[in-house]
A and B are shown apart, each in its own frame.
Chain A
Amino acid sequence: MKNGAPILEVRNLSKEYSDFTAIDNVGFEVYRHEFVSIIGPSGCGKSTLLEMIAGLVPKSSGEVLIKGVAVKDGHASIGIIFQQESIFPWRTALENMEFGLQMQGASKDERRKKALEMIELMGLGGFENRYPDQLSGGMKQRVAIARALVMEPEILLMDEPFGALDEQTRIILGEELLRIRQEIGQTILFVTHNINEAVQLSDRVVIMSARPGKVKAVIDIDLERPRTSAVISTEKFGRLVGEVWLQLREEALKSFRQTAR
């Protein structure tokens, strides 16, 4: 999956607060069309890491490069999806998807056309004119994903996007995400604390340590593509989940002790 030069390079990235270090010297790359997950115990700073890459949180030291060029305050080709419901309640599903294009000054026809294509891709047909309070949690998150994808980002950052959903919806949306990724070749960097989800979706899993967050290990997920959620029942899936957990167990225990104090 590693095609040519990386799209995203993270080099020696650190985040220090006055009384503790959240992220300590983290580095990894993401290549075109790759799906990389970052997994770590709670409080390891994985969301902070993602927000630093997106330019939402200032970094203390280190570099973020997009296609070889260092970026300071995020980059136009980075899209980001949050865990919390973030679609605008005063706009319909379709209008939410048009938002970014509207802000860029795209014409009404152009943004409508692109948003309708996205409705098609996301399987949201029939829900275009619904307001968020008329949509389920899973549907809302689909709209949020569509709102980011319509901007055609080089890389999509996802911060536990399915974290607030129930397990079954989460698996289905994961499968949907893989299908969409397959269709448009989207590069994705995904943060999660769910081991099954990381293995189900990723080409590689970056495992982070307990605070201060460092890269502890990187595990290649060599499950076949295209993948459906049926992959969960394979022996290989179970073995990979086991492997990730072995790396993560010690860190999770450490983190548990940190927070118990």
Chain B
Amino acid sequence: MASRRGRETAARWIFIAALLAALEGVVRLDWVDRIFVTAPSLVAATAWEKILSGELPALFVTTLFSVGAAFLLAMVVGLPAGYALWRFPLFGRAYDELLSALFASPWILLYPIFLVIFGRGLGAIIAMGFLSGMIPIALNTHHGLRDVNPIYLKVGTGMRLKERQIVRHILFPAAAPMILSGLKLGVTYILISVIAVEFLVEIGGIGTLASKGYFWFNTEELYLGMAGAIVLSMIFIHLLGRAESRLFTS
């Protein structure tokens, strides 16, 4: 198993390294305009410089904080909302489609209104992130609970368990894979939303770095912002994956 995982990791990084090397070559050979695409080595140099100056860690922590806060809120509201959609089927049928439609709509266009309501700061960023993450969490929780094989619940009833025991020890474990994929979707949407608003209004975070790079024709900073977003996304997905494997081996 270890060697298979090792090979997977190797395959992943070899491919990425090859792409970056190709990009480096293309830029150095001046096959593309450096205003559009820059060399990974230059981005890395800019990153190093900004790490040493403390600018990049500060931006990183700001985005991490916004995403983390929005994700926490989205779970605190989304999980019980999903449960309520399942527990009260009329409510569930009435709102499921609406939520799906809302999920597909371009929330981000409402950012000026959020700025007015929450002020031009982290509050607005977290509120927008919360909304875009809460919906997939609620929807997936609802669908996961709804699609639990009824035979598992019958086992619980046959053992005369209390409803609370059935919910905690049968219903939620049975729905866990679906709920977890909702959490992954949620964190992805939150990240996109947080970085997009940071980009648009230039208040702190990785998104602002990309935005400034964009306006000042600083291509390295633009790509550094994107790379930062990718790293953040990898961290969250990795953490959720860890939570998932712990859930299924305990």
Contact = CB atoms under 8 A, between A and B. Distances in A.
A76 B151 contact: no
A90 interface: yes
A84 B158 contact: no
B151 A74 contact: no
B174 A90 contact: yes
A80 B158 contact: yes
Given A90-B248, A103-B161, A103-B165, A82 B173 contact: no
Contact of B158 (A74, A89, A90, A91): A74
Contacts of B155: 82, 86, 88
A13 interface: no
Contact of B174 (A80, A84, A88, A151): A88
A45 to B, nearest CB: 17
Contacts of A74: 158, 160
Nearest to B155: A86
Contacts of A100: 159
A78 B174 CA distance: 24
B170 A88 contact: yes
A51 B155 CA distance: 12
A148 B153 CA distance: 15
Contacts of A76: 160
B1 to A, nearest CB: 15
B170 to A, nearest CB: 7
A151 B161 CA distance: 13
A56 B176 contact: no
Nearest to B176: A90
Interface in B145-165: 149, 151-152, 154-155, 157-161, 165
A86 B152 contact: yes
Nearest to B173: A90
Nearest to A85: B151
A66 interface: no
B93 interface: no
Interface residues of A, number: 22
Given A56-B157, A103-B161, A103-B169, A86 B151 contact: yes
B152 A88 contact: yes
B3 to A, nearest CB: 21
Interface in A156-173: none
Contacts of A91: 173
A54 interface: yes
A91 B248 CA distance: 8
A48 to B, nearest CB: 13
A103 B173 CA distance: 15
B116 to A, nearest CB: 46
Contacts of A85: 151
A236 B20 CA distance: 80
A86 B148 CA distance: 12
Contacts of A103: 159, 161, 165, 169
Interface in A50-99: 54-56, 73-74, 76, 78-80, 82, 84-86, 88-91, 99
A148 to B, nearest CB: 8
A159 B161 CA distance: 20
Interface centre among A73, A78, A90, A102, by most B CB within 10 Å? A90
Nearest to A88: B152
B156 to A, nearest CB: 8
B173 A88 contact: yes
A89 B169 CA distance: 12
Nearest to A104: B159
A97 B125 CA distance: 48
Interface in A223-242: none
Nearest to B247: A90
Contact of B154 (A73, A82, A90): A82
A86 B154 contact: yes
Contacts of A55: 160
A56 B159 CA distance: 10
A219 B214 CA distance: 87
21 contacts: A54-B158, A55-B160, A56-B154, A56-B158, A73-B160, A78-B158, A79-B158, A82-B151, A84-B149, A84-B151, A88-B152, A88-B155, A88-B170, A90-B173, A99-B169, A100-B159, A102-B169, A103-B159, A103-B161, A103-B165, A103-B169
Interface of A: 54-56, 73-74, 76, 78-80, 82, 84-86, 88-91, 99-100, 102-103, 151
Given A56-B154, A56-B157, A76-B160, 8 more contacts: A82-B154, A86-B151, A86-B155, A88-B173, A89-B174, A90-B176, A91-B173, A103-B161
